[in-house]
A and B are shown apart, each in its own frame.
Chain A
């Protein structure tokens, strides 16, 4: 409950900015009305006797009270100019967004995960364009970046590195540097099991016996098989056994030992039993029982684990595995070669994102052991400071170790993660990892994901320092908090200084690593600014050991403090608050429950789909909506301004230039459809190019397409065009227009002007398009045609109701003159002349990046999209295709039925019946909140 937050209702930043634009338009409307109102007060005069302004004239035209005239005219003008406010814009936007979600995002095959049969899911249609402007991504680690699957991947034994696998990160590096990796085909007999993904012909299937020094291999394998706290379960055969381990790493190591021929199958309180393949003869196996004398357990200060065991032949050995720095401190001074080589290998493994452990052993004499054991037993039975004493005793025996080698375990990343992160960061998106894991793990994953590399300077703010540890041991909470506070404040200042120096002087990239305890203090209002400043300077930030609430706090720190657009992605219940806090929440659907998905705005099956979601869908949505909004703005402004110019020539009386129906249907029929088509189909570059040039995404982050300057340009051309429409049609209409010498009236001129407006505005849309499908042609010609059909009918009939027969026959009268056709040719071209010149010059001299990309791929655009298309078509097998089709079928929506048995508390219900206490989980509350929110969104 403490970690859950109230469910926010999310609106996109673009829409917020749109509100400002609408507000500006209201300002403009008011201004125009004010001018008109003042004008009308000044104009009205009895001298215009033909207006019938007698003594008893109504207030609106009463020259004796000009003030009232102004006020009343103001209201008239507000209704007259109300077209400047694009009311239908909101409807159109909703429609466009809905289709974008339901048809494009949900049905995109590029975001369809065949293995789990999950398509992407947009749970709200509010935030499509927000996806095109994301600058910060906050990602959970486990389940999102990684699969929480540890695999024994490589090892270094006796100074030789084994294992032919290639990690994603190595592959990525090679790709970037353009060198080919000689990927060794794995042999056909390769065994693959959960936790073991290793192949090397030199040691597999007993081949290690032929290596230079088989003895050290034996030590290596025995160390793996003996030095652990794993419990075997199930049938005692290599195929069926299941290892229960505190961490998946341990299980992976024991599994590895099994595959190397040292099968750990039984643990008794004092022994560990291994089924070893015979040391000398291949194929023979023998069961060996090792007596475990002492277990020196792992903890975060010791960073190592040891066992003392007795061989059946009486040999006493201490096996130790742990972090490289603690092991290296405790090595005997011999055999520098192995040390050096192993260190090299450790560095290699580390930079390819693998988790390493060093293995070492020490032969003990009986005397040494007996001596030590006494002290150990004493320490173990002491009542005060037992942990500390045990640690001290352990120090005494864990020395003079002999290095065997090291293991490298791959924390299996989700497919395509490093590539995706690399692409996203090239797109200008900064990715922060927020994880509950330990600092080492977090840094390791950051390496594996390419977030941190060795060129970056790491700034670490941790609570694992001696001063803090000391304070914690004293146990005084006030003192602890003071010490941490001071150290955090000190660290922040120091890092900030370093950051500024490194960033500006050396241009080095920075990475910040901070742990949850420090974060708690750093998020304090007094340090918040420093933290923000520091973290915005860093290209990647890793927060480890953070609580769900802190995840949300960090998210809102950036969201509110930096006013950047944030996206949170996570899969588990502990990510719910973070997902809700960010501008856009993305849930990983599939494995770990539904809580995150229920709280999210978009759900995807894999982290790598983020690339498509942001770079393709988000970017397109953003560009499309910007175009839709600015175009709407333009077309209404143009239309209203012609009306406005007319007002000046009517004595500011508020006379309509256009017939009522023209005005009402302008937005509804004559210009409605093409802009929706634009909002759905416009593509500046194809999906594959958008991913190939992720930098294009930056235009969204910078909001290039919806700046005031852009709106200003549209406004300028709206102004220009309205002048053209009004003055060209009126000026040219002053005298007779055919050989019969008859004269046009007001409604003839306005019908002419309206025809020009409809045609021009529709053609302008075509100029704004980057790709023109046949739907564009259909909708634009359809709109223009609709106008003509309408006016032919409307001006052709006399209605029986009381209506001013204003436009009766106007279009036929107009069409009987050459003037009509000439104006129809001239006015749209002159009106679009300005826009065309602007577009031409802009593209020529200040091209947008996407325009250059268009030019580079000018001729190949379609072929690329075709091959890509084929790939998508091909990679689905018939089975997958079928399941995809099923996934696309309308699903029965599970509605909340009110049935309470599936309430999240049921586990604890049974547990409490059985007398076991199960604490209620924080995410249960969060889930209920998110169910509510999802209902709300679905009602929209």
Chain B
């Protein structure tokens, strides 16, 4: 990309050839004589400086815009995995989560610092959770998700393929370990509506999960991995499953839980009723609840902006440094004394 700009001269296509052998087109003749018209870019200091400058000038504004976009996002992060465990169980959280007799209800209070404009997105964030583990990633059957029980070749779903001799729909570890914490938000005793529709990518919903496929024999085993599904709702409508099944790239990930369609005003206090069902205590994973607004660039992530800014600044800085260097210690272009055979003569 940069080099194209460095072209100094392009040979004219109209090179006159007095003779070229018959049977060969002129282009082929030039090819065999290795004389194709070419541009020969040379990365001279001037070009280096110019390219750095252009890159810098390009990236600094982009970085600024990105940073601004990221800054304009209001985000509230609430970690609740530790706080939600009763004091008595703090030393043995696994026992707490596995004991179905203990209520998992947990109330947290969130203070809104800044005005948040609707829609406000509710995410949960898990840490140290390897959704990208090879065993986990492949333990699913996309065909079954689309076609349901008709589809029999579900061996990839092991070890969650059959239960009691009957196939499981949806099969596989991914579905089995479905996240099942739930959140309700109460503002001044009024429960806020959380829209849990339209949280999955449309392509997944329409093409990867069947409209006529209903959960079957799901979460009936001796070991319960996670959330259960309503057997009367087709998979294509089970959006939390669809979201969950788009496995994350990194062991720390966020997934969309729902959307609050009302504005939150600064100094509002929200009461969150959490059903802390999901076991992340076995492997020491964190759980976080996130409320955030979005803009054209997405959520709060200053990385792109900072990266652009830093790149731009470094480029401009280098351009200036090189320009100074060029003024102070210019290397004459095409100085024959720099050729090694000439240098040797100078020394001796």
Q: Which residue of B lies closest to A863 (CB)?
A: B11
Is B323 in the interface zone, CB < 8 Å from A?
no
A369 within 8 A of partner (CB): no
- Closest residue of chain A to B204 (Cβ to Cβ) is A809
Alpha-carbon distance between A798 and B143 when the two chains are bound, in angstroms: 10
Given A48-B283, A829-B55, also A649-B298 (CB < 8 A): no
Is residue A865 within 8 Å, beta carbon to beta carbon, of the partner chain?
yes
Nearest-neighbour CB distance to chain A for B183, whole angstroms, equals 15
Assembled-state Cα–Cα distance A775/B29 (Å): 15
Asked whether A735 is an interface residue with its Cβ less than 8 Å from the other chain, the reply is yes
Interface bits B302-336 vs A (CB < 8 Å: 1, else 0): 01100110010011001000100000000101111
Q: Is the CB of A855 within 8 A of B333?
A: yes
Contact of B42 among A51, A773, A858 (CB under 8 A): A858
B139 x A52 contact (CB < 8 A)? yes
B101 within 8 A of A: no
Are A852's CB and B279's CB within 8 A?
A: no
Stretch at the interface among A225-233, A411-419, A815-823: A815-823
B137 touches A746 (CB 8 A): yes
Residue A847 at the chain B interface, CB threshold 8 Å: yes
Whether A884 contacts B42 in the complex (CB less than 8 A), given A735-B298, A743-B243, comes out as no
Measured in the bound complex, the distance between the Cα atoms of B135 and A840 in whole Å is 46
Expressed in whole angstroms, the Cα–Cα distance for A462 and B295 within the complex equals: 92
B236 at the interface (CB under 8 A from A): no
Q: Which of B131-175 contact A (CB under 8 A)?
A: 131-140, 142-143, 153, 156, 159-160, 173
A267 within 8 A of B: no
Do the beta carbons of B129 and A745 come within 8 Å of each other? no
When chains A and B are docked, how far (Å) is the Cα of A94 from the Cα of B37? 25
Chain A residue nearest in CB terms to B48: A840
User: Cα distance A884–B340 when bound, in Å?
Assistant: 40
CB distance from A836 to the nearest CB of B (A): 6
Contact A741 B299 (CB under 8 A): yes
Q: Write out the residue numbers on chain B whose beta carbons fall within 8 Å of the beta carbon of A45.
A: 283
Q: Is A734's CB under 8 angstroms from B301's CB?
A: yes
CA A454 to CA B192, docked complex, whole Å: 104
Which of A317-325, A331-339, A589-597, A764-772 is the contact stretch? A764-772
The reply to whether A869 and B15 form a contact with Cβ atoms under 8 Å apart is yes
Q: A108, B137: Cβ atoms under 8 Å?
A: no
Give 1 or 0 for each of A860-873: 1 = CB within 8 Å of chain B CB: 01100110011011
Cβ-closest chain A residue relative to B121? A741
Most buried by A among B16, B129, B304: B304
Q: List CB contacts (< 8 Å) of B38-94 with chain A.
A: 38-45, 48, 51, 55, 59, 62, 66
CB under 8 Å from chain B, chain A span 821-838? 822-823, 825-826, 828-830, 832-833, 836-837
Q: Are A826 and B304 in contact (CB under 8 A)?
A: yes
Bound Cα distance from A728 to B296, whole angstroms: 19
A770 to B3, CA, bound (A): 10
Say yes or no for A521: interface residue by CB 8 A criterion. no
Query: Which of B24, B225, B307 is A826 in contact with, Cβ under 8 Å?
Result: B307
A772 to chain B, nearest CB (A): 5
A844 and B41 contact, Cβ closer than 8 Å, known pairs A655-B134, A741-B299, A833-B311 = no
Given the known inter-chain contacts A50-B136, A773-B37, please indicate yes or no for A823 contacting B32, CB distance below 8 A.
Answer: no
The residues of A that contact B1 with a CB separation of less than 8 Å are: 763, 766, 828-829, 832
Query: Would you give the 0/1 interface string for B253-295, flagging 1 where the beta carbon is closer than 8 Å to chain A?
Result: 1111001000000000000000000010011100000001011
A441 neighbours in B (Cβ, 8 Å): none
Whole-angstrom CA separation of A104 from B30 in the bound complex: 10
Q: Does B230 lie at the interface of the complex (its beta carbon under 8 Å from any beta carbon of A)?
A: no
In the complex, are the beta carbons of B130 and A650 less than 8 A apart?
yes
The verdict on A50 contacting B3 (CB below 8 Å), with A732-B304, A852-B336 known, is no
Contact present for B9 and A862 (CB under 8 Å): yes
Q: Decide yes or no whether B8 CB sits under 8 A from chain A.
A: yes
Residues of chain A lying within 8 A (CB to CB) of residue B9 = 858-859, 861-862
Pair B311/A650 contact, Cβ less than 8 Å: no
- What string of 1s and 0s marks CB contacts (under 8 Å) between A635-653 and chain B? 0000000000010011101
Asked if B253 and A743 make an inter-chain contact with CB atoms under 8 angstroms apart, the answer reads: yes
Interchain nearest-CB distance for A330 vs B (Å): 46
Would you give the shortest CB distance from A653 to chain B, in whole angstroms?
4
**Contact flag A870-B16 (CB < 8 Å), given A47-B282, A888-B21:** yes
Chain A contacts for B348, CB-based, 8 A: 507
Give the chain B neighbours of A830 by CB distance below 8 A.
Answer: 307, 311
Number of interface residues of A (CB under 8 A): 120
Partner of A61, one of B35, B135, B251: B135
B78 to chain A, nearest CB (A): 16
Residues of A within 8 A of B51 (CB): 836
- Cβ of A384 within 8 Å of any chain B Cβ, yes or no, is no
Smallest CB separation, A605 vs chain B (Å): 17
User: What chain A residues lie within 8 Å of B223 (beta carbons)?
Assistant: 49, 54
Cα A687 to Cα B36 in complex, Å, equals 12
| Chain A residues whose C-beta falls within 8 Å of the C-beta of B203 in the assembled complex | 808-809, 812-813
Report whether B199 and A742 are in contact in the complex, using a CB–CB cutoff of 8 Å: yes
Contacts of A744 in B (CB 8 A): 246, 249
CB of A52 within 8 A of CB of B250, answer no
A769 to chain B, nearest CB (A): 7
Q: Does A903 contact B (CB under 8 A)?
A: no
Known interface pairs A809-B203, A813-B203, A847-B338; A728-B307 also in contact (CB < 8 Å): yes
Contacts of A833 in B (CB 8 A): 55, 311, 314-315
| CB of A839 closer than 8 Å to a CB of B | yes
Which residue of A109, A808, A836, A888 is within 8 Å of B2 (Cβ)? A836
Q: How far is the CB of A841 from chain B (nearest CB, A)?
A: 8
Q: A653–B138 Cα gap in the complex (Å)?
A: 12
Across the interface, which residues of B come within 8 angstroms of A736, CB to CB?
121, 123, 254, 256, 292, 294, 298-299
The answer to whether A104 touches B282 (Cβ under 8 A) is: no
B71 to chain A, nearest CB (A): 14
User: Residue A114 at the B interface, CB < 8 A?
Assistant: no
Q: Is the CB of B341 within 8 A of A651?
A: no
CA distance A655 to B138 in the complex (A): 9
Q: Are A870 and B18 in contact (CB under 8 A)?
A: yes
Taking CB as reference atom, which chain A residue is nearest B1? A763
> Does A849 have its Cβ within 8 Å of any Cβ on chain B?
yes
Contact across chains for B48 and A869 when beta carbons are under 8 A apart:
no
Q: A732-B303, A804-B142, A830-B307 are in contact. Are A745 and B246 (CB under 8 A)?
A: yes
CA–CA, A734 to B125, complex, Å? Answer: 10
A109 to B88, CA, bound (A): 92
Closest B residue to A684 using CB positions: B40
Interface residue? A12 (CB, 8 A) = no
Nearest A residue (CB) for B338: A852
Max chain B C-beta neighbours (<10 A), residue from A741, A772, A818, A888 = A741
A residues near B (Cβ < 8 Å) are: 45, 47-54, 56-57, 61, 76, 103-104, 107-109, 426, 507, 620, 646, 649-651, 653-655, 681, 683, 687, 693, 695, 698, 728, 730-746, 748-750, 763, 766-767, 769-775, 798, 802-805, 808-809, 812-813, 817-819, 822-823, 825-826, 828-830, 832-833, 836-837, 839-840, 843-845, 847, 849, 851-859, 861-862, 865-866, 869-870, 872-874, 876, 878, 881, 884-885, 888-889
Q: A849-B339, A858-B9 are in contact. List 5 more A-B contacts (CB 8 A).
A: A695-B339, A743-B253, A772-B39, A826-B311, A870-B18
Q: 23 A–B contact pairs at CB < 8 A?
A: A49-B282, A57-B159, A426-B341, A649-B250, A655-B134, A728-B303, A728-B307, A736-B123, A742-B200, A743-B253, A748-B249, A769-B41, A775-B36, A803-B142, A809-B204, A819-B298, A825-B62, A826-B308, A833-B315, A840-B48, A854-B334, A856-B334, A885-B21
Interface residues of B (CB under 8 A from A): 1-4, 7-9, 11-12, 15-24, 31-45, 48, 51, 55, 59, 62, 66, 119, 121, 123, 129-140, 142-143, 153, 156, 159-160, 173, 176-177, 198-201, 203-204, 207-208, 223, 225-226, 243, 246-256, 259, 279, 282-284, 292, 294-301, 303-304, 307-308, 311, 314-315, 318, 322, 331, 333-336, 338-341, 348
For the complex of A and B, 7 pairs with smallest distance between CB atoms? A855-B334, A735-B299, A745-B246, A809-B203, A653-B134, A50-B177, A771-B38
